[in-house]
Amino acid sequence: MSAPTNQQLTLRGVAASIFGATLGVYAGANVLVPAVGSGAVWYIGSKLLKPTDPRYLGAMSVLAGHTLWLLAGMALLNQWGLNTIDLIVFGVGALWLWMRPGLKPVVVLTVFELIALVTNASTIASEQLGSDMHKALVVHIALRVAVLVLLWGAWLKARRDVPSGT
């Protein structure tokens, strides 16, 4: 029998769970690939191949799951074009963050996530609520916001945890 874990129920955890459940109900299968991809990267990073700084594991996991979803969608629809830039930037960005976490990859990824977020937000405005495209864009936007929150949360935590005088 394993020792019980001491996990506290937090407002942030409850809010994230409610948001995730709501997103899943609305977007359906659109959430499946990024969720499985994120979970796989989280597992690999927490159990097998430890990242340089585990505080960034959440951001790396969501970023990698989103990148996997982009790759799957591009391959299935055979639509490479400009989307390939997303795939390269976010794939390389996730690896950079894994190997050399810090302010530089956080800022670079933030810039590209914000550009993509603005693009997604302007596109979703012309889509009908409930359409497949609207659902997919909602997931893209949610993942981008999650990456930004997790990136900066990890960076602030890393900065706060640095001993004074270093």
pLDDT in tens, 117-143: 999 999 999 999 999 999 999 999 999
Answer for the pair 139, 120: CB distance below 8 angstroms, yes or no: no
**pLDDT at position 15:** 82
155 pLDDT band, cuts 50/70/90, is very high
Whether residue 79 is predicted with pLDDT greater than 90 in this model: the reply is no
What is the reported pTM?
0.85
Count CB-CB contacts under 10 A for residue 108: 15
20-40 residues labelled b (16+ CB within 10 A) or e (exposed):
eeebeebbeebbebbbebbee
82 pLDDT band, cuts 50/70/90, is confident
Whether residue 17 is predicted with pLDDT greater than 90 in this model: the reply is no
29 pLDDT band, cuts 50/70/90, is confident
Q: Where are the domains of the chain?
A: 29-158
Contacts of 95 (CB under 8 A, 6+ apart): none
Whether residue 2 is predicted with pLDDT greater than 80 in this model: the reply is no
* Mean pLDDT, range 42-46, rounded to an integer: 90
What Cα–Cα distance (Å) separates residue 38 from each residue in 23, 62, 88, 104? 15, 5, 17, 22
* Mean pLDDT, range 130-158, rounded to an integer: 95
